[in-house]
Amino acid sequence: MAPLPKERVTPSRPFTVTGVDFAGPIFTYLKIHGKAPYKSYIAVFICFATKAVHLEAVTDLTSDPFIAALKRFVGRRGIEFSFIPPRAPHFGGLWEAAVKTAKGHLYRTLSNAHLTFEELTTSLVEIEAIMNSRPLTATSTNPNDFESLTPAHFLIGTSLQGIPEPFLKNENIAHAQRWQRISAAKTHFWKRWQSEYLADLQNRYRWKYDQDNVAVGNLVIIYDEHAPPMKWVMGRIVSVKTGADGRVRVADVQTPTTVLRRPVAKLALIPIN
C-alpha–C-alpha distance, residues 270 and 142, integer Å: 14
Residue 172 pLDDT exceeds 80: no
**Tell me: the pLDDT tens digits for 198-257?**
777 765 444 455 556 788 888 888 888 888 888 888 899 998 888 777 788 888 999 988
Q: Are 252 and 266 in contact (CB under 8 A)?
A: no
Model confidence, pTM? 0.75
> Residues 120-164: pLDDT tens digits?
888 888 888 888 888 888 877 777 878 888 888 888 887 777 666
> Percent of the chain, pLDDT > 90?
2
Greatest Cα pair distance in the chain: 66
d(CA 50, CA 152): 9
Share of the chain above pLDDT 70, in %: 74
What CA–CA distance (Å, rounded) separates 64 from 144? 51
Q: What mean pLDDT is predicted for residues 164-172?
A: 58
3-state secondary structure of 125: helix
Cα distance between residue 270 and residue 219, in whole Å: 6
The top-scoring range by mean pLDDT among 81-95, 98-112, 209-223, 249-263 is 249-263
Average pLDDT, integer, range 35-63: 86
Measured between alpha carbons, how far is 206 from 242 in angstroms, rounded to an integer?
17
- Quote the mean pLDDT of the chain: 77
Angle between the N-to-C axes of helices 178-201 and 117-131, in degrees from 0 to 180, rounded to the nearest 10: 30
Q: Which domains does the chain have, with CATH numbers?
A: 6-131+163-201 (3.30.420), 208-269 (2.30.30)
Report the distance separating Cα 129 and Cα 138, nearest Å: 19
Question: How far, in Å, are 14, 47, 171, 211 from residue 10 at the CA level?
Answer: 11, 12, 46, 29
The confidence band for 58, taking pLDDT boundaries of 50, 70 and 90, is very high
